[in-house]
Amino acid sequence: MAQQPKTAKKPATARPPRQPMPTQEAHVRARNFNEVALGFSLETAMLEASRCLKCKKPKCVLGCPVEVDIPKFVSALADGDLRAAAVALKADNNLPAICGRVCPQETQCEIQCVLGKKFEPVAIGRLERFVADWERTEGGLEMPKVQPPSGKRVAVIGAGPAGLTCAGDLARFGHQVTIFEALHAPGGVLIYGIPEFRLPKDIVHAEVDYVKSLGAEMRLNTVIGKLYTIDELLGEEGFDAVFLGTGAGLPRFMNIPGENHIGVYSANEFLTRVNLMKGYLFPEYDTPVQIGAKVAVVGAGNVAMDASRCSLRLGADEVHIVYRRSRKEVPARAEEVHHAEEEGIIFNFLTNPVEIYGDEKSRVRGMRVIRMELGEPDASGRRRPVPIPGSEYDIEVDTVVMALGTSPNPLVFYDAGGLERTRWGTVVADEQTGRTTKDRVWAGGDLVTGTATVISAMGAGKRAAADINLFLRGMKIPVEEKVAVAQA
């Protein structure tokens, strides 16, 4: 039954290398919002797929938060059967075009790849993107099996990655799903946070349409906690269960002097103006976004990379990342940092803002920063940055973007008694099932974990949907048995 690895008998020199992703040239792409990565051709995709060793015990699947059957879709692709590849991929992943673009595969599936032990791992993410794009643009979406209506209703709060995934799976299980979204467009961080050049919005629209085609109802412009409360949804509105996927949308500020001057943005505001409201197309679009000549983005996560790269594209002359730790501790994806550096963004490590200066009209004209050094590790395991006394100096900037991380927006908790939260504002929920301390309420994604990734939110949405389904059908399986079922 076990196949010999395809390339076992070939000499090492004949093995094709990992295929590079064609990208727009750095100095060109730094001034436009078009997608940076251009995608594989069919030939390149099949060649890359042929590198897969077809391991007897595939490790890659274990690295995937939604357990995509990677060997199955990759080998179908290697055989040129794109339809079979798409079906295999969509069996577990409702939003593959998105994952193929924004997942940190290098720390998930690809790091497990056996080929990667001696050579470069199979470019699983790029293959996923290829198959998903093919299906969307040429192949035609195939509808998965949807179970007959159960008569049960679920309210999914938040149309971001966690909510969309949960809603899609619940709809496939036959339940009537209503997704409530506060903004006027669905997608959450996919639509307001991640820029067009990393994740084109028409892909997000297409993925959302797919979830709606499974039967989920979308209600935009609806703020739960204001228009309806969770208790009302479970009560007079007649929902049998509620899934909370409202993410971590509350911006963090440093609370340093001058932080409220004109020209200081939270990354949320900056990115929302640019991505959701298309500020880069003002005045064709009505919402403006102001960018000066010299921009400082404080932070070094993926959001900071996005904010700094958007700043360049909006016309800034010079864009700086200001980060209090060193390059080793940078949390952003290596690929994003690499792209940012190629585009000319200047990285200032071991540097932290102290005060922001404004002119007589309260507009930013400069920032005082202090040099840092790394001391003992803190609770997160990373070495704690400590200011070096007397090392302050001033930098000339006219725009500052605070990309320090976010925490859950508390609006949704109004009139949701019994929903236990941690001291950081995240919801307490079981990691395997998503169950919260409140009856008939599940939660997943950044709302539970704090800022994490799109794919981990999707994984949480999947697990919650599976558990909600069991609950709605009156079945209760103990956790240990559930894990055994999943591995069978």
List contacts with other proteins (CB under 8 A): 182-184, 220-223, 226-228, 249-251, 253, 255, 259-260, 262, 265-266, 268-269, 272-273, 277-278, 281-288, 290, 361-362, 409-411
Q: How far is the CB of 182 from other proteins (least distance, A)?
A: 5
CA-wise closest residue to 172 among 210, 203, 135, 136: 210
Beta carbon nearer to other proteins, 100 or 245: 245
The radius of gyration of the chain's CA atoms, rounded to the nearest angstrom, is 23
Quote the tokens at residue 388.
């070096």
Beta carbon nearer to other proteins, 173 or 270: 270
Q: How many CB atoms lie within 10 A of CB 142?
A: 10
Q: How far is the CB of 415 from other proteins (least distance, A)?
A: 11
Is the separation of the CB atoms in 178 and 216 below 8 Å? Answer: yes
Q: How far is the CB of 355 from other proteins (least distance, A)?
A: 15
Beta carbon nearer to other proteins, 150 or 290: 290
Beta carbon nearer to other proteins, 54 or 278: 278
Quote the tokens at residue 348.
């200032």
Q: How far is the CB of 446 from other proteins (least distance, A)?
A: 12
Beta carbon nearer to other proteins, 147 or 362: 362
Beta carbon nearer to other proteins, 201 or 382: 201
CA-wise closest residue to 60 among 98, 111, 7, 19: 111
Q: How far is the CB of 101 from other proteins (least distance, A)?
A: 23
Q: How far is the CB of 255 from other proteins (least distance, A)?
A: 7
Q: How far is the CB of 34 from other proteins (least distance, A)?
A: 20
Is the separation of the CB atoms in 60 and 113 below 8 Å? Answer: yes
Angle at 205 between CA 83 and CA 41, to 5 degrees: 40
Beta carbon nearer to other proteins, 86 or 194: 194
Q: How far is the CB of 262 from other proteins (least distance, A)?
A: 5
Beta carbon nearer to other proteins, 183 or 322: 183
Q: How far is the CB of 447 from other proteins (least distance, A)?
A: 13
Q: How far is the CB of 56 from other proteins (least distance, A)?
A: 48
Q: Which residues contact 304 (CB under 8 A, 6 or more apart)?
A: 267, 297, 298, 321, 323, 332, 401, 403
CA distances from 212 to 176, 219, 221, 467 (A): 11, 11, 17, 21
Beta carbon nearer to other proteins, 134 or 265: 265
Three state DSSP letters for 32-48: CCCCCECCCCHHHHHHH
CA-wise closest residue to 385 among 268, 480, 300, 267: 300
User: Which residues pair with residue 485 across a beta bridge?
Assistant: none
Beta carbon nearer to other proteins, 40 or 228: 228
What length is written for the chain? 488
Identify the burial level of 417 via C-beta atoms within 10 angstroms of its C-beta, where 0-12 means exposed, 13-18 middle and 19 or more buried: exposed
